[in-house]
Amino acid sequence: MKLCVPLPCFFGGMRFEDAVAKVAALGYRYVEIYDWRRLDLASAAKALEENGVTMLSMCTTEFRLTDPAFRGAWVDGIMESCEAAAVLGVKKLITQVGPDTGAPREEQRASVVEGLGAGAPILERAGVTVMIEPLNTKVNHPGYYLTSSEEAFDIVRKVGSDNVKVVFDIYHQQVSEGNIIPNVTGNLDLIAHLHAAGHPGRHELQYGENDYRNIFAAIDRAGYDGACGLEYNPLLAPEESLREAMEMYGSRAG
């Protein structure tokens, strides 16, 4: 497993190019961002190449899959995001599925499946994977539709495209359901990326109730060869926090 640095969590006020150079100097080789539209794509691509850093994921421009009225905008955003991904060398996009609209859940779920299905041919042509993200509603995202990893996996199976997967956020799923190791290791064929943070608080991994050494070791043994983004709000100074993560999980940093 590789460790990945979500740049907005640690260096959100810094120029992308400077943040890439900083994480490279700390020994990390993988980053991710959220809103790619803030970037000068050519300059960002140059910074990644010069620093030997790969950008693993970024977000789509539209998140509202639960409401069919926004499907066209979501599909258009997929096309636009795939074009940006080609410039940046990115192979994965993260999308949330949107709020619970109040419509029957089966209707909202059908809308999510249909929207993902509509975007799948674009993703397949571009060689890009989109990842839906279950989030917790107890602490961070009240009103969000998708909280269960099981439902997320079922949605991906229903879509039936190798370019539609799940980003499994260990922090969110610890809040929502626990049972982390079996839920991850039993569904690796449906998971394209991981996120992690300590719970409670969404801070450094070592400050929460989960033993991430055990979690990561179990996932490694199961054959996962992807990355895990350190998506937390650091209590330590950002560089110190990343150095500590390197010391604790450094064999997975590059």
Instruction: Indicate the burial class of 101 (C-beta count within 10 angstroms; 0-12, 13-18, 19 or more).
Output: middle
Nearest to 238 by CA among 2, 12, 4, 1: 12
- Please provide the average confidence, as pLDDT, over all residues in the chain: 96
Q: What is the pLDDT of residue 195?
A: 98
Torsion of CA 167, 229, 7, 172, to 10 degrees: 60
Looking at residue 144, the DSSP 8-state letter turns out to be: B
- Average pLDDT of span 24-49: 97
Residue 112 vs residues 75, 96, 187, 194: alpha-carbon distances, Å: 12, 10, 20, 21
- Token duo for residue 50: 């010069």
pLDDT (0 to 100) of residue 249: 86
Does residue 173 surpass a pLDDT of 90?
A: yes
Residues 6+ apart with CB under 8 A from 30: 2, 3, 4, 5, 53, 54, 55, 56, 227, 254
Residue 148 near residue 134 (C-beta atoms within 8 A): yes
What are the pLDDT digits (tens) for 137-147?
999 999 999 99
pLDDT of residue 254: 45
- The two tokens of residue 218 are 């179990």
Model confidence at 60, pLDDT cuts 50, 70, 90, reads very high
Q: Is the pLDDT of residue 253 over 50?
A: no
Mean pLDDT, rounded, for 204-215: 96
The CATH number of 2-249 is 3.20.20.150
* CA 102/CA 16 separation, integer angstroms: 38
- Which tokens hold the place of 86? 């080609």
- Which among 160, 214, 208 has a CA at the least distance from the CA of 184? 214
- Percent of the chain predicted with pLDDT > 70: 98
Q: What is the pLDDT of residue 251?
A: 63
Domain extent listing, the chain: 2-249
pLDDT digits (tens, 9 = 90+) for 98-121: 999 999 999 999 999 999 999 999
